[in-house]
Amino acid sequence: MTALVLDGVTKRYGATTAVEAVDLTIPDGTLVCLLGPSGCGKTTLMRMIAGLEAPSAGEIRMGSETITRVPVHKRGFGMVFQSLALFPHLSVGDNIAYPLRLRGESRGTIEARVRELLDLVQLPGVEGRAITQLSGGQRQRVAIARALAVAPRLFLLDEPLSALDAKLREAMQVELRLLQERLGITTIVVTHDQREAMTMADQVVVMRGGRVLQMDRPIEVYRRPATPFVADFLGQTNLLQARREDGGARLASGAFLPDLALPSDTALLSIRPEDVILLPEGEGPIAAEVEFVRDMGSAVEIYLRAGEARIVAHREAGAAVAPTGARVSLGIRPGASSVFPAEAA
């Protein structure tokens, strides 16, 4: 099959620009997450890909075919809406059969396909039920089955799991990813949940203010964020102000970090909690005080204060941790911090 290409896609509503000149290539068979806070333009971008909104400028191509002006119902994409948009007057089976009937498939083909799809989403035997008789997770599966009914060229999901409780959501993320890998279908997921993106995506597209800030593999975005915003949005991080000095960098708290070269006179450091090293007092460059310890069982989170700055450190489960109020020193795992010139903040 073929890649989806966005070329300078822009959407303006009057004076406001929702999506600004987005260039993206989504390779065949991959799962891409559009990730960003609400209002960043990720949903508008997906609606333009689906054909529900017309771009103000730019072009959308599927392989060699330009689809910018192709109406929604002729694109042949499957989409799962945030509200799921299951048809309340139709049974589960009729919901899934809806696109098949529009195609004029025979009754026997439709029945077989509905059964096959319900097996695929692990919900066999519920054809005859009303939508209202299903739980939230079951409705989710029906919406996915319906969107996949006609084997779409592109599978779009708009915040598909946001209505589910945390535990079910995590399970569905894994399941959805396995399903996508099995079908090998090109998929785009809109989400504001960074864990969801980390779990499912081959590629994460981080957006803010209608622009794409970074597109890369999730772990690359996590390890090498393009901006402080990306660092903060994808996972937890400590953002610290620093000044350039001879042979290193000085933090706002007064601590001096040798061997840390800054690209400009002032800069912002991003240090992941797992890269913060806790040392006995006086043995590390940053003096700090333990403010709060959150022992989650599976890991320990330590909240520290270093001058004006708050720093979060993570330890593995069961690690011995200094008590609240204890004075400690902090170090940073060599090479683990990301440095941004101050103007990029």
Partner 1 sequence: MSAAPSRPSGGQAALVFPGLMLGAFFVVPFGLMIAVSFFQRVQGGFYEPVLTGANYARFLSLFFGEILLFSLGLSALVALVCLLVGAPFTYLLARLPRRAQVPWLVALLAILSLSEVIIGFSWSTLLSRTAGVSNLLVALGLMASPTAFTPSFAAVLLGMTYQALPYCVLVLYPSFSRLDPSLGEAAQTLGASPARAFLTVILPALRGALAATFVVVFVFALGSYLLPQLLGRPQHWTLSVLITDQAIYQSNMPFAAAMAVFLVLASLLLVSLAALFGAKRAGNAA
Q: Is 102 in the site for partner 1 (CB under 8 A)?
A: yes
Q: How far is the CB of 144 from partner 1 (least distance, A)?
A: 13
CB closer to partner 1 out of 38 and 132: 132
DSSP assigned state of 135: -
Pick the binder of partner 1 from 10, 98, 307, 321 (CB under 8 A). 98
Paired tokens of 198: 């980390």
Q: For residues 233 and 206, what is the distance between their CA atoms, to the nearest angstrom? A: 9
- Contact yes or no for 28/50 (Cβ under 8 A): no
Q: Closer to partner 1 at the Cβ: 25 or 83? A: 83
146 binds partner 1 (CB under 8 A): yes
Cβ-based burial of 31 (10 A; exposed 0-12, middle 13-18, buried ≥19):
buried
In the bound state with partner 1, the residue whose beta carbon lies nearer, of 74 and 182, is: 74
Instruction: Tell which residue, 209, 219, 202, has the closest CA to residue 3.
Output: 202
Minimum CB separation from partner 1 for residue 46, in Å? 11
Q: Confirm if 147 and 155 have CB atoms less than 8 A apart.
A: yes
Number of residues that bind partner 1 (CB under 8 A): 31
State the minimum distance, in angstroms, from the CB of residue 129 to partner 1: 9
The C-alpha atoms of residue 8 and residue 34 are separated, in whole angstroms, by 16
The H or E element spanning position 109 is helix 107-120
138 binds partner 1 (CB under 8 A): no
Phi-psi region at 230: left, alpha or beta (left = phi > 0; alpha = psi -120 to 50): alpha
Place of tokens 């694109």: 75
Binding mask 284-323 for partner 1 (x = CB under 8 A): ----------------------------------------
CB of 121 to partner 1, least distance (A): 16
Binders of partner 1 in range 64-83 (CB under 8 A): 71-73, 75-79, 81-83
40-69 residues near partner 1, rule: CB under 8 A: 50-52
239 contacts 270 by C-beta, under 8 angstroms: yes
Chain residues that interact with partner 1, rule: CB under 8 A: 50-52, 71-73, 75-79, 81-83, 85, 87-91, 98-99, 102-103, 130, 132, 146-147, 149-150, 156
